[in-house]
Amino acid sequence: MPYKYLIINTDGASRGNPGPAAAGITIKDETGTLLRAVPRFLGRLTCNQAEYQALIIALEEAKRLGAPEVRILADSELLVKQLKGEYRVKNSGLTPLFATAMKQLAGFERWNARHIPREQNSEADKLANEALDKAGLRQ
């Protein structure tokens, strides 16, 4: 296998809640080398739906890269606590996204998720905002 593990930073952004939304994702190898930087416009979603969509896209990319383990870093406390089972998923709009994310995570030998402050997630945040700007949705 080419990588021991991948470090995934994700961010979902929505201008309005719901509103035009985008995902920003970085994927780095265990040495910190950037492998992917993904800005993606998602359409009209809530902030939390955008956070989940960003994670799902990132996990698809990580799977293609063939890593046995992923380490997820996100500034969405709700997302991280739901993934870890500390919060239940009560919102019907998040339930199918949570199920998809958990199914994808089951395809890795190991995974963990950690909440980080927004300041430590600036690369992913910038990519999400770039996707919104490119779609003509300036702040």
The domain defined by 6-134 folds into Nucleotidyltransferase; domain 5 (3.30.420)
Query: For the segment 15-38, what is each residue's pLDDT rounded down to a tens digit?
Result: 999 999 999 999 999 999 999 999
Query: For the segment 112-136, what is each residue's pLDDT rounded down to a tens digit?
Result: 999 999 999 999 999 999 999 998 7
Query: For the segment 28-74, what is each residue's pLDDT rounded down to a tens digit?
Result: 999 999 999 999 999 999 999 999 999 999 999 999 999 999 999 99
Domain edges within the chain: 6-134
Q: What are phi and psi of 73, to 5 degrees?
A: -120, 125
The side-by-side arrangement of strands in the sheet containing 19-29 is 34-45, 19-29, 6-14, 69-74, 110-115
**Other C-beta atoms lying within 10 Å of the C-beta of residue 61:** 17
Contact assessment for residue 52 and residue 98, using Cβ atoms and an 8 Å cutoff? yes
Q: What is the pLDDT at residue 136?
A: 78
